[in-house]
Amino acid sequence: MAANRALIVALSGCSSSGKTTLARLLRDIFPHTFILHEDDFYRAETELPSRDGLLDWDCAEALDIPAMAESLAYIRQHANFPPTLDSKEDQNSVGKCPVSDATILAQKAKVAAAIPPSHPLHSTLRLCLFDGFLLYSPAMAAIQPSLDIKLFLRASYAKAKARREARDGYVTLEGFWADPPGYVDKIVWPNYIKEHAWMFEGGDVEGKFKEDVLDKEGIKVQKEAGVDGDISKMLEWTVDTILEDLKHLV
């Protein structure tokens, strides 16, 4: 590959499925890796659609998809953020790391053995971890050509609701946003079902994946895990999947 290029590793799934936690762990495990957040492409609060009297931050209409596509294209060519992108997402807390130091060290050792100093990731190539709740929706067709590795994380309604409602809130363009009461049930979960039912048998997002559909779209999932997979095993699976895909992409 040419100098100063980046591969985009997409991490998608419902809100509070562990995407940001996983992305931050992977950033520390893989060399020369940085994170791009879908949340950095929200439109201004005055431009957001509303539903049931509430602002809807969890739909495609809330995002500036053309700007997202342009930024991804820039990153693939230049291996860095475009100068106009001011990321605020890393200011948000994801809580205490749920993975043990021993597990993290084991994954670092695995990656170090698989990616020696002569590997392009130590010189001309970087990994961009793209963390977002809505990366594979049909509405996101414009960004699909820029996604080199597609990974999907799942979570049950109960766990996603508990995690989301435990959060303090989110840094926004205007300042800060905290979910009002009932937001998960009225906005977050219905939108998740609407945008991802096509990936599951019978449209049941807590059921079985449509494996033929995922294969066609190139989306990788942790098939042996239940709807609420263990985060440590999820990390191991993600590291193994990225290393395997790198063999074919580099």
pLDDT of res. 126: 94
What's the confidence (pLDDT) of residue 175? 63
Asked if 78 contacts 64 with a C-beta cutoff of 8 angstroms, the reply is no
DSSP line for 86-100: ---GGGS---S--S-
Can you give the residue ranges of every domain in the chain? 5-249
Q: How far apart are CA 15 and CA 53, in angstroms?
A: 21
CB 192 within 8 A of CB 15: yes
**Does residue 239 sit in helix, strand or coil?**
helix
Q: What is the mean pLDDT of each run of 10 residues along the chain (250 residues)?
A: 79 92 94 92 92 91 96 94 75 68 96 94 93 95 96 94 80 68 93 96 95 96 86 95 92
In the structure encoding, which two tokens stand for residue 61, read together? 């209409």
pLDDT for 192 equals 96
**Which amino acid does the sequence have at 3?**
A
User: Residue 95 has what pLDDT?
Assistant: 60
Q: What is the CA radius of gyration of the chain?
A: 18
Question: What is the predicted pLDDT for the residue at 176?
Answer: 64
Structure tokens at 187: 């906005």
39 part of the active site: yes
Catalytic entry in 39, 56, 179, 245: 39
- For the chain, the farthest-separated pair of C-alpha atoms sits apart, in whole angstroms, at 56
pLDDT of residue 167: 77
Superfamily of domain 5-249: P-loop containing nucleotide triphosphate hydrolases (3.40.50.300)
The H-assigned helical ranges of the chain are: 19-29, 65-78, 101-114, 157-166, 183, 189-196, 211-217, 231-249
- Residue 156, SS3? coil
